[in-house]
Each structure stands twice: as structure tokens, then as C-alpha cells.
Amino acid sequence: MMNGFKEVEPSFEDCLLMLSKKLVDSSSTVNIDSLLDAFTALVGDCDFHSSQRNKNIETFLKRYGSSVDEINKMRMRASHFTLIKVIGRGAFGEVQLVRHKRTNKIKRADSAFFWEERDIMAYADPMWIVKLHYAFQDLKYLYMVMEYMPGGDLVNLMANYDVPEKWAKFYTAEVVLGLDAIHSMGYIHRDVKPDNMLISASGHVKLADFGTCVKMDSDGLVRCSTAVGTPDYISPEVLRSQGSEGVYGRECDWWSVGVFIYEMLVGETPFYATSLVATYSKIMNHQSTLTFPDDVSISDAAKDIICKFLSNRNVRLGRQGVAEIKSHTFFVNDEWDWNTIQNTRPPVVPDLTGDDDTRNFDNIEKEGLPQESFQLPRAFAGNQLPFIGFTYSREFSPMACLAVSQQTLADAKSDLQRLSMQNEQYASELGLVQETKKLADACLQQVNADSSSIELDCLKLEKELAAVRLELKETSRKLEQELENRKQLEVMLINVRSEYDNLQNAERKTKSEHAIDMDRQISELNERIRLQCDSEEKLRTLFNELQESYNNQDLALRELRIKYDVLTSHCDEAQENLKSVQAQLDAERAQSTQQSQLLLSTKERNDALQIKLDYLREKYTKLTDENQTLTEKKHNLEKEYSITELELKNLRDKYEQEVQNYQNSLNSSQIGNEQCKSESTFVSELEKKLRDEETLRHSLQQQLNDVERQRKVLSLDCDHFSDQIQQLGMEGENLKSKIQELTGQLEVEADKRIRLQGELGTAMGTITTLKNREANLEREISILKQECSQLEFFSNELRKCKSISQSQLRDVEDQLETHQCLYSLYKNQTKELKELVSTRDEELNSVKSNLTRQVEAVQLQLEMDHKARRLAEDSLSDREKEKAMLEIELKRLSNRHKQEITSKDAIIDQFKEKERAYLQTIEELRKAHDNLNVNLENVNQELSRKTSMSTSTDEQIQQLKKMYEKEQQLKKSAIDKLTEVMQKKSTQNKKGYRADELKRKDKEFKKLQQDVQQEKRKYDEMVAMYQKEMSDLQATLYEEGQAKERLLIELECKEEELELLQQKLHVLLSETCSVDSASLAEVVDFNNGNFTMYDMSLMRMCDLPKKKKYHVFFKLFMLAKGRAVLPDVMSHKGHDFIAISFHSPTSCDICSKQLWNVLKPPPALECKRCHVKIHKDHLEKHDRDVAPCRVNYDPMLARDLLLMVSSADECKVWVNRIRKCMENFRKGGDFLKTARSSGSSVHNILVDGDKVIWRKISIRCVSSGELDENH
């Protein structure tokens, strides 16, 4: 190694100098910070219990553990900064505004990024790239301290200003220079958009967010299989790389620059669509979808550069280098060029209050990130090794301090020696690690060899499985043949038994000794046959047991078939014996009876199987019904989901249409403030509907997932039961076929029996011949004995066959094992099917994520619209100073209204005093009758004056409304003036005014904008204050109206009491009754002769002449003691609230929260008059936000009616009729609840439906009296 150094470097000092340069160079991979990172990482990875068992590691930690702790204390860390504000938060960290405690410099801190981002910000040109000051780490987090850009991003600038083409040139040029700086370092940004373009304190633009950057290959291209970037700004070649390896270069960033220029000039991206799929389709078909709106003026040079940027990558502008872009005519201007643009004043310079001003960033609440717990490794894992070389410091570097003097050089040498020793130790440890790696590789090779042998064994097993399948098919074919042979033998056995029955009948009649001996021999044969039947029954029982255990059903079936073959062989042998002994028919009849019993047992077993089959079928039908209901529920949920998606899409379309109409109306400056408010309320309602639809969609999706999950479970159960039912069905069908065959044979035997009974007569004739043949039968008996011995020999052979069948049974068991192997294969196939289902679920999840992205895009669009609305409201604040005059006038009117309220209070006090006076006058009626009438007249005058005062307040409110409308018109005119000024400013710019005048006007315009914003805020505060005062005044006015109603009711009650006292006084004085002083001066003339109580035709109202006597008058006085009220009505501030529940989307008119629920809606109230909907809690808590009812209602229904008829007799008739009607109402139980009569005054309570109406009716007949002009 030393010889190599001598060949490369002639002197040792030069080698040390080069090594020191590498240690000092921050871009070197072996600089001092990287070495310190490696040292601390090595100590951190070794510092756990399991690795300390190694003595070398233990001594290493003892020696350098404390040193590493001291190094960590002396290096840069998070405690050196003071947190000011959190200005951003993402999935992998958050962005904070911090201040260095020692230098007091403001910087931006980020907590998660990539190596490409660090290298770009650390070593790129800081003129166009956000500068990296520090990069450090601790045990849990990575930190990056960057330059703070207080101007926000270009999205905020485009939302606050209408960007002209002149501004677009400037910002595009700075973005091009920033991208050129990145490309010169060999990186591609891949996410160029206004959100990643930050504005510095001087107003210049710098690029940020390099997390998507990628290093180019030596040919200047990138090969990637994933599409990276924002959908609206992504290029077609990057989009094609999704799912397949794509090849593209730096031209993908120039595509995003073209989209950025179009967005600045038009206001939206060129390929914007409501869905992500539509956006991607427009990007892929950009030749036909790229259009320019007619209502936006764009120069030809701007259109040309946009079209050249948004073109195919082979001909795209900038493919041949950045010089091609700089030479385009779009950037030609007189104010700056590519060399002086950094020193040029930007179009917009942020107005900052200090170096920590964060007005251009959204307020984000600080929240603690979840603490990650890392599991302790069992062996050396090297978790900290990937972050070696991460630390970076632009200003405070250890080697920068060491290079100041020769002393620092000596210290560096000692540190270098120490580091070389550490490197040697690390090399020794690395050797150990390599040895362990070799051992691991050897183990891996052995595992691979074992896996290859296992694969060979699997192949052998599969071959054997195929052979077993072939043997199984052959055995099943043989089994079918044996079953057919057995059926034939059974038919022959039944025929022999029928013949045996006939001969047995004949033998019973003879009853000879020879027959008895034959019966004995036949019984022995029957006993043997019975034993064979018993063996068959045992096999049947085995079949039932095997059938109950479904898991071993196939094996049991094969065993049963093998035993069945043995029985068939026995039956064949028995059949041969029975053919030779046809005379023994009695034994055959017994055998037939046993066979019939066996048939009954098989039928019973079949019935049991049929019951079990029916039960399984019922269970299967239930499961299928449940599955169908679940599928129907799923389809319904899918329909509801699609309907909600369609409604959501319609709402979005409506919303976009409303926003477009709103923007058009703002450009034409013809919408007033009231319309703006209506638009804002409509937009808020749309947003509420969108949120409600979104929640409904999520709930439906959750229900759909639950139903799908239940459906899958039931489908698995249904498949399992269907397999069982199919197997039982097959067995049942086999048994049914056997039963049918046996029943057919029985019918044939019955036919034979009938035929044989006919032949019985002929057989009787043969009895005589049989007697003659007794001698011959004795000889035949001896022959039968010999045959019995032969049968015993045959039974021994049957036992041998049984042993052979047992060996065959073992073979079948081997076949069962092969079937189990097949079952394992089927199980693996089911696992693969489950994996396919999981992939489909993942596809569904991807569709859900796409939907969420679409919703987020809609929310972003909503935020853009809100920003546009804020701009519109700011533009409407030019006439705020004139509004101040209106507010002064409102104060004056409010003071006047307060004075009127005090005057009303004084009037109320006067009413109270007069009430006391009325009580005194009642006691002194005889002495002061005339004075009482004067007082009543004064009261009427005061009431009229009070009503006139209330009408005057209404007139004042109308005047205020008119003044407000005038102010709205003034505001519109101011907006028109402002637009004219802006147009004049643009024409002057076109004429080419001097740059100084333009700068001066820009400053004036900015100052005016600031003044306007301040005045707008003041005006908003004053309007809110006066609106609150107006609501309070309305509430007090409503309370005054209520008090007025109560006073009027009390006054009328007092008047009525006075009338009663006057009547008593007239009776005492023996005077005629006259009309009271509160009578009206109008009389209803009933001259129609056909006038009835329920069919009144009022002909005319006539004025009373003065000083005339009338004997044809009677008066009706109806007083409403209360208004119509439901039992559950709650009155509050003029509202008549009723309890109600909402099951459809509804919101509260006070707190704007949800007022509905499908299952359990919250308690709510609704006014019957103005239909205001609120939570019940607002009324129970006496919330002041409940405004008075907007619908005016006069609850005073008191009426006086003086009626005139043609004669005094008719007057009496009418009075009697009305009294009779009142008596009928008093007697009726349905309409009249309570009644009280006193003199000629009747108090009634009439019930009309669910309304309770209080009425007080006074009838007074004017038979003789004098109506003077006072009345």
C-alpha cells in the first residue's frame, strides 16, 4: 500500500495536503462532518446489549462512548434554535420557522427529505435555489435548516393579483434560470408548479421542494417505471412511464413551465378536469385539447411559447438546451435581460413587518408527532449507517476553525491519526462482518440445494399421484361392472325364491316325514343364508357410520364396495347351489321373507337419509335466501352509492357553473353587495351539501363493505353445504334406483305368484306322482347331504376370499392417501384464489383513493374560489370612508330610537298611573261619571299617539334601508371607477410611459390597497357592531310590542268592567241603556230580509248621525283573551316554536351545525310563521343569537261591532237569537268547554280542532237611548 502511494504521490507532504483538502471540502464524501457521522453512527449501532457480548465492541464502547456523547453536545442540534411558528406539515415531517439563538437569524426548518434535496440545496446556486444552512440529525429525526422565504409561494400571488403578461415574463425567466441551475447539476425536478416557487423578501422567485428530483444518467436521460409529479403539471412522457419503464429527460420540466405560464395568464391550468382520468386523457391528447379562451387577451409570443412547451418531447422547446428558451421572443423587453434580472426590481415586493412575518402562510396548529419506538436489534443491524455524511454546515464547520492556524493543522493531524486508528478498528470489525457474511452465504447455498431436492421430490409425488388417479379410474370401472353382475344375480335369486314359495305350499299339504327332513335341511341352509345376510347388514351399518362422518366418506364408500363384491361372489355361489336344489322351495321362501325385511331396512335407512337431505336442503335454501338478500342489499347500496356520486357530480357542476357566473359578474362589476351575500350563502349551502353527500357516500361505502364481507362468508357456507347436498343427493339417487329395481322385481314376483297360483291346481295333480317318487326323494336327500358338505367347502373358500378382500381394502386405503394429496393441491388452489380476491380488493382500494384525490382536487378548487371571493370583497372597499358617515347617521338614529324608547317607558308609567285612577273612579262612579269619560278619551288619544310612534319607527327603518341602498349604489360606482383606473393604467403602460412613473404609481397603488384593506376591516367591524345593535333594537321593539299588547288587553278588560258598572248604575238610576263610550262611530246596516245567523250579508257601513235616538241598535263586543296556541307551542321573541325531527339533510340557522340524522335526529324546533329551524338547546339556554320573528302578527283580535236593524222588534229578535246560540254552545259538550254568564255578558271557551280560542262576547240591546257626538 505504501508502494502505491509512492508511485502516485512523490512526497508525503503532498499526500497530507490532499488529504487535508478532502477533509475540509464540504462536498467530499470523507469530510470531517461525514467522518463524525460515521463515528457516532458506529457507536449508536453497537450500543445495545446483544452486541456488547463481543469483547472488541465492549472495549470500543468503553473507550469512545463518552467521547461520542461530548461530540454530540458540541455539534449542531435542534436545541440551538427557537421555534417561532409551524408553517407546513406533511406525511413525513413538518416545516417550522425557527430563529438561531446565537445569530438571531430566521430560517426554515424541515424534518424529512431525500439525499437529492440535500445535495441540490447545499451545492446549487443559491441565487435561484433555496439555500441550505445546516443539516444535522439525532437518534430519531433528520433536520434541515433552510433559507426562509417570507413572501409565500406563487399560488398566493396569483390568488391576490391578476397577473399581466409583463409579470409572467419576469417570473417565468427566474423559474427558467432556477431549472437551469438544477439541470446543470445533473438532476431533473419533475414537480415544477407554483406551489414549489417561493418568493423571497426582495420579491424574487426561488425553487424549492426537491424531494421528487432524480439524477440523470450519463446520456442525460432518466429510466423510471412510476409517474411522479402533480396531475395538472405532469408531462405525457412521465405519465406513460406508469406501470412500464419510461425514458425521458429534462424536457419534462419545460412542459411544466408551459403549464405554469398558461395558468398565470388564463387563471387555470390548460388541462384541468373534474376527474383525474379526464385530466390525464387531456394531457395525452394535448394536440387537440390545448385551447386558449377568447375572453383573455394573450399575445402571439405567449401563445407560441406555451404551444412549444406543451408539445411532443422530441420537438419541445428547451430540448436542445436553455439557450433555445432564452432566445425566444416572449422574453424580449426593455427593463431587464438574463444577466441583470437579479438586480431588477420584481413586480411585487412583499410588505413585511419583520423578519418573522408569516402572513403569507396558513396558520397550522403545532401538534406533537407520534413517537416512534424502534425495536432493539438482536445483532449488528447498521441502522445509522445510511445517514453517514448527512451533516452539513455552511457557516459553522469544524475544519473551518481548524484551518485558521498551524495549531489547528497539528490538531487536525492528531485527529487524523485517531481517525486512522478508528478506521483500522472498523476494518477489523468489517472483516468479522465479512466472515459472518461468508457463513451466511454458505448457509444460503445449502438452503438452495435443499430447496432443489424438495422440488424434485414434489415432481416425483406428482407423477405418482397421476398414476394413482389412473388406477382409481380403473377400479371404479371394475366396480361398476361388479354392480351390474350383482343386479342380475339378485333377479335370479328372486325368481328362485318365488318357485320355492310355491313348492313350500305344496309340501305343507303333504306333511310327510320326508318333507320334515327336507325342512330341517332347508332350515340349515337358511341359517347359512341368514349368516350371509347378517354379514351384509353389518356392512350396511358400516356404511351408515361412514356416511355420518363426511370427512372419510370416500374411503368408507370404497370399503363398502369391496365388501359388496365379496357378498356378490357369495351370492353367486349360493345361486349355483340353489339351482341344483330347486326342490327346497320352503327354505327359499324364508330367504325371500328375510330379503323383504332387508328391503324394509333399506327403505327406513333411505327415509332417514331423505330426512337428513331435506334438512340440508332447507338449510341450503335459507342460506341462499340470505345470500340473495345480502346481494340485493349490496346492489341497493351500490345504486345509492352511484346515485350519491351522480348527485355529487351534479353539485360540483352546479358549483363550477355558479363560480363561473360569479366571476363573470365580478368582471362586469354589476353585482351588488346583497347579491354577493346571496352568492356566498348559496356557495356555503353547496359546500354543506357536498360535505353531507361525502359523509353519506362514506357511510354507504362502509355498509357496502360490510355486506360484501357477509356475502363472502355466506357464499363459502353455501358452497360447503351445496357440496354436502350434492354428495347426499348422489347417494340418495343410488339408493332410490336400488329401491326402484327391488320394487320392480317385487311386482314381477307378484305377477309370477298369481300365475303360479293358477298352476297350483295342476300341481295338486302331481302330488300323487310325488308320493310315488318318495323313494326317489330319499335317494335325493342323500345326494343333498353330499351337496351340503360341498357347501361347507364353499364357505371355507368364501373366508379365503374375505382375506383377499381385506388386502384389497388396504390398497384402497393407499388410494385414500393419494386423494388426501389431491385435497392438499386443491387447498393450494383455493389459497391462490384468495390471493386473487385480495388483489381485487386492492384494486377497489385504489379506486377509493382516486375518488379521495378527486374530492381533494374539488376542495382545492373551493379554496381558490374562496380566495377569489376575498379579492372581490377587497375591491368593494373603496367607499368605506363614506360608510363612516352612514354609521354616524345610524348612531344618531339609534340615539333617537333610544329616546323614543324612554318616552314609551314614560307612557307605560302613565298607563299605570291611569290604571290607579281607573280604580279610584270605579269607587266614585256616581260622583265622577263625566270625569271617567274624559279619562277614557285621553287614554284613546295616548294609544293613537303610541301607534303613530311605532309607525314612525317603521318609517325610520325604511329610511335607513333606503340610505343603505344608496351606499350600495355608491360602492358600485366606486368599483366602476377603480376598474376604469386600472384600464387607464394598462393603456398607459402600452403607450410606454417611463419606468419611474410606473414605479411611483405602483407604490401609490399599493398604498391605496393597504388603506382600502384597513378601511374595509374597520367597516366590517362597524357593520357587525351596528348589525348587533339593530338586532338588539329589534328585540327591544318586539318586547315593547308585547308590553303594548298586554296593556291593551288589560285596558279593554278595565273598559269592560266599567261597562258592567255603568249598566248597574243605569239600572239603579232607572235610566235606559245606552251605548258605552268605547263604541265605534260606524253601524252595520242589515236591510237584507233574508239575513240569518250563518248567512250574513253586510250591506253597508253607515255613519251615525248626531243627536238622534235609535231603538234599532245592538252591539257585539268580542275580546281575544289569547291567540291560537298548540299544546306544544313555545313562544319566544315573537316565534311560535314547535318540536320537530328532521331525517333529511338540514342545518341549524344559528350555529350552522347538522340538525338531522337518519336514525336518531337531535331535538329541533321550527317556527310556524317564519319557518326558522334551530336546536332545542338554543331556546333552553336562552341564547341571545335567536333573532326576533320576521313575520309581524297582531294578536289583538278585539272587535266592537254596533249593528242596526230595520225595527225595534227585529232588534229584539236578533238579540234573542244570539243569546239562544250562546246557550246552545254552552250546552254542547264538543265545542264549549267552560261557560260563565253574568247579566248580558257571557264568557265562552270555544274549541276548534286543536286550537283553543278564548272569546268574551258582550251583547247589549239599545232599545232606547241617545247617541250623542261624544259616542
The residues that are catalytic are 191
Backbone torsions φ then ψ of 701, nearest 5 degrees: -65, -40
Beta bridge partners of 1267: 1108
Distances (CA, A) of 481 to 474, 478, 568: 11, 5, 12
**Which one, of 141, 112, 45, 140, lies nearest residue 373 by Cα?**
140
What's the rounded Cα separation, in Å, for the pair 868 and 862? 10
Grid cell for residue 1099:
250591506
Q: Which residue pairs from 1018-1023 have beta carbons closer than 8 angstroms and sit at least 24 positions apart in sequence? A: 1018/880, 1018/884, 1019/877, 1019/880, 1019/883, 1019/884, 1022/883, 1022/884, 1022/887, 1023/883, 1023/887
Buried/exposed code over 906-932 (b: 16+ C-beta within 10 A; e: otherwise): ebeeebeebeeebeebeeeeeeeeeeb
What spatial distance separates the first Cα and last Cα of the chain, rounded to whole Å? 135
- Look at strands 1199-1204 and 1241-1248 and give their pairing: unpaired
Q: What is the DSSP string of 770-806?
A: HHHTHHHHHHHHHHHHHHHHHHHHHHHHHHHHHHHHH
Backbone region of residue 764 per phi and psi (left: phi > 0; alpha: psi in -120 to 50; beta: other values): alpha
Sequence-ordered list of residues with C-beta below 8 angstroms from that of 652, at least 6 positions apart, any chain: 274, 690, 858
Cβ atoms 964, 886 nearer than 8 A: yes
Cβ atoms 146, 120 nearer than 8 A: no
What's the rounded Cα separation, in Å, for the pair 990 and 994? 11
**Which one, of 235, 217, 251, lies nearest residue 321 by Cα?**
251
Rg (CA), the chain: 54
Sequence-ordered list of residues with C-beta below 8 angstroms from that of 970, at least 6 positions apart, any chain: 879, 882
What's the rounded Cα separation, in Å, for the pair 1144 and 65? 67
What's the rounded Cα separation, in Å, for the pair 385 and 903? 87
- Look at strands 1082-1085 and 1199-1204 and give their pairing: parallel
**Which one, of 829, 828, 832, 955, lies nearest residue 900 by Cα?**
955
Sequence-ordered list of residues with C-beta below 8 angstroms from that of 217, at least 6 positions apart, any chain: 223
Cα atoms in the 13 Å half-sphere on the side-chain side of 781: 16
What's the rounded Cα separation, in Å, for the pair 1121 and 531? 109
Cβ atoms 1204, 1087 nearer than 8 A: no
Q: What is the DSSP string of 732-758?
A: HHHHHHHHHHHHHHHHHHHHHHHHHHH
- Look at strands 1082-1085 and 1100-1103 and give their pairing: antiparallel
Cα atoms in the 13 Å half-sphere on the side-chain side of 302: 21
What's the rounded Cα separation, in Å, for the pair 696 and 675? 31
Sequence-ordered list of residues with C-beta below 8 angstroms from that of 216, at least 6 positions apart, any chain: 186, 187, 188, 222, 249, 250
Q: Is 461 strand, coil or helix?
A: helix
What's the rounded Cα separation, in Å, for the pair 870 and 864? 10
Backbone region of residue 1264 per phi and psi (left: phi > 0; alpha: psi in -120 to 50; beta: other values): beta
The DSSP output letter for 1156 is B
